[in-house]
Amino acid sequence: MARIKNIEFYNFRNFKSYKTLFDNKLNILFGDNGCGKTNILEGISLISKGRGIRNANIANLIKKDQDNFFIKNNLEIEKNIFNVEIFTEQKNEKFKKVIKINDDSSKDSLNFLNKSISYLIFLPEMERLFQASPSYRRNFIDRLIFSSRNDYNTLINKYKKSLLERNKVLQSYNTDNEWLNRIEIEICSLGLEIYNLRNSQLNTLNIELRNMKHDHNFPFDLKFEIKDNFVSNEINFEEFLSNLQNSREYDKQFGGAKIGPHKSDITSIVNNEFEASLLSTGQQKTIVLMVLLAQCNYLINRKEINPIFLFDEIGSHLDKHNRQILLDMINRFEIQFFLTGTDKNLFSFVSTNAHFYNITKV
């Protein structure tokens, strides 16, 4: 179980220098638009694999007109304190994020860090989850999978790489058929794994939400499912492969691949009646909060993972349902929360000992 004890930023985003301690439980960051609340959550989310909550271009993390940023923090993992340092290195004009744990940037210590820390994230755009693009929804589900499997990103990246490779071969003048066959087999096996993991993630949500229903007084029944032109219930390797082979001509002409998990969408059926895209933004926020609560329950009780919550602009659209779900999370789980909002008053309903941080423009 990981806890962020403190953080220091130097030349990170809008901060020249910023330093604060954090509470083990509930941290609420408030301040005017543009003061740097999202940047702070982003900085925290960089303590792990990847490019943080905004999936940012690494160069953009550096304060304008500076050469590098530096993030320093103490991380408590199983009662031990680790010093984490994050900065960038430039290689062939490209910026690369570097993490050091106790001054060690070996693969082993990075893997240890990734295994020890997991984030559940709410971003204000998620209030439009079911009106956003299918790729946004795929990403949303993929992040949930990533919260329980820190190697999932590698799978997604490998899959994307193979798709690009196939595209290159299809577009080349002399198609190497043997090579193409090999890539397509690779695509199907990786793709199948992604389909299966997404399916089981959605099943997990469906089961957890059903089980939690009586305890939590949820306003909706939800059923999540994958929507995909190619896949119905059972996904079969041979069928996937022959479909991919049959779409070569089409894919050669239009680029990309016509079928596969990169084309899936995710829907949620509300009360067995209609799709979640018909709900208001505030109601979609309820769904997202329900999902995060369900995932948190799953991580803690089934996977022994204690996630850290990063909830950006959570203060708006907090009707009684949304408040209740948020309070349920805060009161039931011994984990660390970071919530942001423009006003301290938005959080007056939180009764636990919250620590408030007034972020001011620098």
Residues interacting with ligand ADP, by CB under 6 A? 13-14, 31, 33-39, 60, 62-64
Closer to ligand ADP by Cβ: residue 18 or 333: 18
Minimum distance, C-beta of residue 289 to Mg ion, in the bound complex (Å)? 18
Tokens of 43: 């900085």
Minimum distance, C-beta of residue 110 to ligand ADP, in the bound complex (Å)? 25
- Is residue 150 involved in binding Mg ion (CB under 5 A)? no
Minimum distance, C-beta of residue 168 to Mg ion, in the bound complex (Å)? 39
Closer to Mg ion by Cβ: residue 260 or 341: 341
102: left (phi > 0), else alpha (psi -120 to 50), else beta?
left
- Is residue 45 involved in binding Mg ion (CB under 5 A)? no
Beta strands in 51-128 (DSSP E): 70-77, 80-91, 94-101, 119-122
HEC profile for 4-38?
Answer: ECEEEEEEECCEEEEEEECCCCEEEEECCCCCCHH
Minimum distance, C-beta of residue 61 to ligand ADP, in the bound complex (Å)? 6
Choose among Mg ion, ligand ADP, none what residue 261 binds, the Cβ cut-off being 5 to 8 Å by kind: none
Q: What angle do CA 140, 110, 56 make, to 5 degrees?
A: 40
- Is residue 38 involved in binding Mg ion (CB under 5 A)? yes
Q: How many CB atoms lie within 10 A of CB 98?
A: 13
Closer to ligand ADP by Cβ: residue 90 or 171: 90
Q: Is the CB of residue 31 less than 8 Å from the CB of residue 359?
A: yes
Closer to Mg ion by Cβ: residue 29 or 292: 29
Closer to Mg ion by Cβ: residue 123 or 235: 123
Using CB under 5 A, count the residues that bind Mg ion.
Answer: 1
CA distance 11 to 357: 20
Choose among ligand ADP, Mg ion, none what residue 255 binds, the Cβ cut-off being 5 to 8 Å by kind: none
Tokens of 37: 């609340």
- Give contact residues for Mg ion (rule: CB under 5 A): 38
